[in-house]
Structure 1
Amino acid sequence: MDPESGVVFARTAEGAAIALGLLKCGRIWLCPVCSAKIRHGRAQEVTAAVTAWIRQGGRAYLVTFTARHAAAHRLADLMDAIQGTRKDDDAGIKRRPGAYQRLITGAAWAGDKRRKANPEGIRGRIGYIGMIRATEVTVGKANGWHPHIHAIVLVGGRTTGKGADRTITGTFAPNEASLTEWETHWRAVWTRHLGQVDPTFRPSDTCQIPDCTCQGKGHGVDFKALETEQDAEDLSEYIAKTQDGTDPANELARADMKSAGGGNMTPFEVLGRIGDLMGGVSDDEASGHGPLPWLLELWAEYEAGVSGRRAIEWTRHLRPLLGLDGDDTQEGDLDVLFGLEAAHAFRDGVQIQERAWHKLTGRALDLAVVEAVEGGELDADAVTDLAVSAGSIAGSVRRLTPEEVTDLYDGVLTKLAERREAAADRRREAAAETAPSD
């Protein structure tokens, strides 16, 4: 990130070693390391927002959307059906809405002021202010890809203004008739659109399974109310703990920690088995299931299917409406990642000059550096010995106090922000130069 500062390995209050000053890929779909940290930060963000909304009198629902799927279905086709197609200017392809976008369009939902019978629509009757959507993917040999959406939907709000100027003026409890109308409408829209895209994607309208949680309403859309102060407190307790599948914010954001059931695997479980098998672990001892050629095909299809899509997305203008900063972009993910690192309480650390770091990694000694930093005592001499053995001088490694770690990393983040702002200015200038004149 900053050649002058090099790389800092800091030891946290818990004794863990974290690398500061190294750029991160920030790929929430593809990188197990970055995904875990980003989803951790995003889950905290979701929890804070929903907790605050419930405590001021609003209501929230965890709504899960699924499509019927089979081994013959391709992931990209399923993702297009639920999330919509991706725009490709080079190929002349326009974006086509998916079932998710269809939920929040149309006169029945948005209302029609020209018609006295429905001027405010379902949206107005339930006090909809927005939702936070997270898309999750699992895969199994029997039934193939299973992409599905978890959304926390915030309702019960009175607002004034439009777009970025909208503000909340109060909260209320939507009546049961309006909530039932909403649930019925979304189920109908979701199943109808999937059926139009591909009849085999259409979820069942009714369910015959005894004691099923859908209560006979079908498997396409599931609603779970979060409407009490206790719900808010339960959300507050979530701080990146082991996935148990019961916490709404956990369910929404922490796909990195899930282990899919029923013989299904998460993408990172697929990746883990690929790593085991390519590393020489036997089929029986490797995690997950399936032969290597099949797993490699799965991962390649997964990369293509999620490319260009957002894993977690907030309704436009919802963040400022709730008094929150940030955005859903990859740069926003990086801000979350770097912010989590900077939030640690550091015990000490070591600074490694840039050239020395390259020599260490060139000899695969970066793990040895981590091991020397972690634990009860930081062994700075061991890090120096490793650098010397890699061909660097002893002065290429410097021990740091907690204050020095914090100051050094703050400086790195400041320089990064300045570079990003300068790059944004250059992009704006380039766009202005190529824009057609009046």
Structure 2
Amino acid sequence: MTTIDRCRVCARRAVAPELGTLTARTEDGTATGRGAQLCESIWACAVCEASRRAEDTHELTTAALRWLARGGTLIAGVLTTRHAPTDRLDDLLCALMGTRRHVDETTGEVTERTPGAYQRLLSDPGFYGRAEAVSTWRRKDGTVGQSVRPPAPGLRHEIGYVGMARNTEITRSKAGGYHPHLNTLVFVGGTLDGTPAKGTVTGTFDPAPEALERFEDWLRGFWASALRSIDPMYETSTECDRRDCKCGGKGHGVQLHVITSPDDKALIDYLTKAGGETAKSVQADVDAAKGAAAETAHSTAKAAKGKSMTPFQILDRLWAIEHDGLAEADAPGYGTTEQCRGWWLEYETATRGRRAFELTRGLARHTDLAGELEAYRYQEMHRRLLGGVVLTSVAHGQVAEAGSDFAVAELVAARREADVAELVADAGGRADHARVVDEAGAAEWVESLAEVMAAKARQRAAERAEWDRLAEAGHGLVPCEPCGGTGHREEYAAIHGGQCFPCGGTGRVIGDADDDQEHDG
């Protein structure tokens, strides 16, 4: 049902057909896969979403713990917009996160993106401050006049703002329709030499409670005003008279929670694995930072509460009805199959091309995250594999097409690798296309995959070198509309049937992903 081609074939093809795929058991008793081509869609693919959210959560947890250990302060927040059942999800996301750049396929006219309430927040003078401005003009008598507007600090200077992490969470309720909101983690309490994007943190301090309160009051008013300027129907409340409401009478557009560390030294010892036994005072810090990071970065994996559904729960309902044969009244969630399919298509279309998770510029540097994500990925890829089963590329495709790929993982996790051959036969394949391997065999297969992928990387590098050679020779560019006019060389077009080298005629260059995250590729 998806409109994303690469999502439709996710995990159904082997990246190295000559090797097939490996499903192996890890030390923690779970099963992991190697060698399948993944779509990497954080919005539309439940499997890829889980792995990428795990990466984001790890990265943000590390940043949060390091900032607390340094003496900084965190503010966990939720920013939302008023919504109604008749509101289109794309319109709500545009109000929160801005419109997307659009190129008209017929006329070629380009419509640049416009900022949403979130982007306006980061650049508003009341928060960011104003730099010194010098104005000059020429008088009628020919003399030149000049005035200087001195720099004015903003609220970010009072609270020591150094950066923010932002994740988009989307649910759908029966009464209110789609409800997108932004989960944020704000890093404050830092002394900056320069701007948050390009400056350097020279120290930390405890923001005064009055400054934090002024920031919260300003944020509530600004957020409601920014949404009102986009569409008055989206304006959030700044006060509430509901009894015992969790907003505390402050309105429902903004929720903030301040997190500090009561024992910075003990937390540093914990992070550096120094000091022997972990101090008890650290556990609260670790729990708070991990909880805030998971709430911010991994929120779409949570189950929605009450009568709401997450997008993947919409798919769960469809699967229960269309695959498992449950009646609509007995399936989890709500809505007819036609409605659920329409809601999913709306979600998939509205989120395409948007970033699901991002760190503001400079935050990774302020929290020493350089190389952290790569190290995490390396550890995940080099986990000890205790044994498993290797499927040929044909058998893997047959099992995936039959919807039995998760059953393979379950059998491997349960130490029943020998039963996978029967699963392949049931899917219409040959039982001898499933080969059980022990720990040494799994390690040998992974090493072979690494060699094949390295060879493919060398081949791509050679193709790029040839591309550069053609460019230096001065050959003209043939416009490539699918990938936005990047273009390809005439010789390459003649040899390869007119397909663009960067995108292969698909419109997507190497390393692109739906959400265009900074650390993709």
TM-score normalised by L of structure 1: 0.84
Please, which moves more after superposition, 299-308 or 422-431?
422-431
Relative distance call for 1:166 and 1:410 in structure 2 (3 A) is: farther
Indicate the percent of aligned positions where both proteins have the same amino acid. Answer: 33
1:177 aligns with 2:216: no
CA pair 118-225 structure 1, distance change in 2 beyond 3 A: farther
**Does the aligned pair in 1 maintain the 2:65–2:289 contact within 8 Å?**
no
Gaps of 5+ in 1: 241-246
In the alignment of these two chains, the number of paired residues is 421
Is 1:160 the counterpart of 2:193 in the alignment? Answer: yes
Q: What whole-Å deviation, never above 9, does each CA across 1:306-349 have from its counterpart, x for those lacking one?
A: 1111111111231122111369xxxx8xx799657525432112
Question: What letter corresponds to residue 15 of structure 1 in structure 2?
Answer: G
The reply on whether 1:150 has 2:183 as its aligned counterpart is yes
The aligned residue for residue 290 of structure 1 is: 335
1:254 aligns with 2:272: no
Give the aligned residue type for 2:354: R
The answer to whether the 8 A contact 2:87-2:178 is kept is: yes
Alignment partners' CA distance in 1, 2:445 and 2:210: 58
1:399 has 2:436 as partner: yes
Report which stretch shifted further, 341-350 or 69-78: 341-350
Displacement of 1:407 in angstroms is 5.0
Contact 1:27 / 1:34 at 8 angstroms: preserved in 2?
yes
- Per-residue CA deviation, residues 223-249 of structure 1 (Å, 9 max, x unaligned), is 100112479744634899xxxxxx322
User: Matched residue of 2:123: which SS?
Assistant: coil
Relative to 1, partners in 2 of residues 1:360 and 1:137: Cα closer, same or farther, differing over 3 Å?
closer
Mapped pair 1:105 → 2:105 = no
- Following superposition, the deviation at residue 150 of structure 1 comes to 0.7
Do structure 1's residue 236 and structure 2's residue 279 form an aligned pair?
Answer: no
Counterparts of 2:84 and 2:317 in 1: how far apart (Å)?
22
Instruction: Give runs of aligned pairs for residues 336-375 of structure 1, distance below 5 A.
Output: 341-361=380-400, 366=405, 369-375=408-414
AA of the residue aligned to 1:202? E
Cα deviations across residues 346-402 of structure 1 (Å, max 9, x unaligned)? 211222232443455466654554354231x3433x4446557855483x5443332
Q: Is 1:92 aligned to residue 127 of structure 2?
A: no
In the TM superposition, residue 297 of structure 1 has moved relative to its aligned partner by 1.3
Larger Rg: 2
Per the alignment, residue 18 of structure 1 pairs with: 32
Q: Distance in 1 between matches of 2:333 and 2:375?
A: 30
Q: Is the 8 Å Cα contact of residues 261 and 285 (structure 2) preserved in structure 1?
A: no
Change (3 A) 1:239 1:248: closer
SS of the aligned residue for 1:222 comes to strand
Q: 2:316 aligns with which of 272, 275, 298?
A: 272
Equivalent residue, structure 2, for 1:216 = 249
Q: How far is 1:431 from its partner?
A: 9.4
TM-score (norm 2): 0.72
| Counterparts of 2:248 and 2:399, CA distance in 1 | 59
Q: Which has the higher contact order (CA 8 A, sep 6+)?
A: 1
The answer for the alignment partner of 2:75 in structure 1 is 61
State the SS of the aligned residue for 2:33: strand
Question: What amino acid does structure 2 have at the position aligned with 1:349?
Answer: G
Q: Following TM superposition, by how much is the alpha carbon of 1:48 offset from its aligned partner in structure 2, in angstroms?
A: 1.4
**Cross-structure match for 1:136:** 169
Determine the C-alpha separation between the residues in 1 that align with 2:252 and 2:371: 34
Structure 1 residues 217 and 239: alpha-carbon distance in aligned structure 2, compared to 1, 3 A threshold: closer
Q: 1:317 aligns with which of 353, 362, 385?
A: 362
| In 1, Cα distance between equivalents of 2:455 and 2:197 | 26
* CA shift for structure 1 position 161: 4.8
1:130-175 deviation line (CA, Å, top 9, x unaligned): 0100110111121111100010000111233557753321111122
Shift of 1:281: 0.9
Greater CA drift, 163-172 or 56-65: 163-172
Distance 1:44 1:229, change over 3 A: farther
- What residue identity is the alignment partner of 2:244? D
Report if aligned partners of 1:29, 1:35 keep a CA contact under 8 Å in 2. Answer: yes
Q: RMSD of aligned C-alpha atoms?
A: 3.4
Mapped to 2, the partners of 1:421 and 1:211 lie a distance apart of: 63
Whether contact under 8 Å (1:111, 1:120) holds in the other structure is yes
Residues in 1 aligned to 2:347 and 2:160: alpha-carbon distance in whole angstroms: 37
Alignment equivalent of 1:123, drawn from 156, 180, 204: 156
Further displaced range: 60-69 or 178-187: 178-187
Question: Which whole-Å CA distance do the structure 1 matches of 2:169 and 2:454 have between them?
Answer: 31
TM superposition shift of 1:35? 1.4
Q: Which residue of 1 aligns with 2:417?
A: 379
**Structure 1 residues 238 and 196, CA gap change in structure 2 (3 angstroms):** closer
Match of 2:16 in 1: 2
SS in 2 for 1:103: helix
- Indicate conservation of the 8 Å contact 2:74/2:259, yes or no: yes
Q: Which runs of 5+ in 2 are unaligned?
A: 1-14, 133-147, 264-280, 478-485, 488-521
Within the candidate set 221, 224, 241, 1:191 is matched to 224
Q: Once structures 1 and 2 are overlaid, which stretch shifts more, 222-231 or 411-420?
A: 411-420
Stretch deviating more after TM superposition (225-234 or 76-85): 225-234
Q: Residues of 1 paired with 2:119 and 2:392: CA distance?
A: 50
**Secondary structure, in 3 states, of the residue corresponding to 2:42?**
coil
2:326 is aligned with 1:281: yes
Relative to structure 1, the CA distance from residue 391 to residue 66 in structure 2 (aligned partners, 3 Å threshold; closer, same or farther) is closer
* Partner SS for 2:251: coil
User: SS of 2:386's equivalent?
Assistant: strand
Alpha-carbon distance change, 140 to 76 in structure 1, aligned in 2, over 3 angstroms: same
Closer/same/farther in 2, CA of residues 107 and 14 from structure 1, 3 Å limit: closer
Partner of 1:203: 236
* Contact 1:203–1:218 (Cα < 8 Å) also in 2: yes
Aligned mates of 2:124, 2:220 — CA distance in 1: 15
Q: Which residue of 2 aligns with 1:307?
A: 352
